[in-house]
């Protein structure tokens, strides 16, 4: 296992621990308004909102990082 893989694993574990702590300590209801898309106010626990925003950000980052492989060019060898 490479050092980079271990660092990524530790970072992901720390973020998940942070999400658990947020979920345990933020159970009160919050209002979420998004007038262009939602006509009604959404009332959800704060922890659920944090988790949803994290998931949206994670999916956005994953989608934006797709297709970053090496491009194959024409060989100059004859």
**Residue 78 resides in a domain:** no
**Residue 21 resides in a domain:** yes
Task: Report the number of distinct structural domains present in the chain.
Answer: 1
In which domain, by residue range, is 24 found? 3-61
- Cα 4 to chain centroid, rounded: 19
**Residue 49 resides in a domain:** yes
Instruction: Give the DSSP H/E element, type plus range, for residue 47.
Output: helix 46-64
Categorize the per-residue pLDDT at 74 as very low, low, confident or very high, splitting at 50, 70 and 90. Answer: low
**Residue 67 resides in a domain:** no
Summarised one tens digit per residue, pLDDT across range 50-73 is 888 888 988 898 888 887 666 666
Helix axes 3-25, 46-64, angle to 10 degrees: 150
By three-state DSSP, how is residue 41 classified?
coil
Where are the extended beta strands (E) located within the chain?
29-32, 42-45
Q: What is the mean pLDDT of the chain?
A: 83
**Residue 66 resides in a domain:** no
By three-state DSSP, how is residue 65 classified?
coil
Q: What backbone torsions phi and psi does residue 32 show, to the nearest 5 degrees?
A: -125, 120
């Amino acid at each position: 296992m490479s050092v980079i893989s271990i660092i990524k694993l530790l970072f992901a574990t720390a973020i998940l621990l942070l999400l658990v702590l947020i979920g345990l300590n933020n159970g009160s209801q919050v209002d979420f308004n998004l007038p262009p898309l939602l006509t009604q106010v959404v009332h959800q626990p704060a922890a659920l909102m944090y988790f949803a925003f994290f998931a949206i950000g994670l999916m956005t980052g994953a989608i934006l990082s797709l297709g970053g492989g090496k491009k194959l060019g024409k060989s100059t060898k004859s």
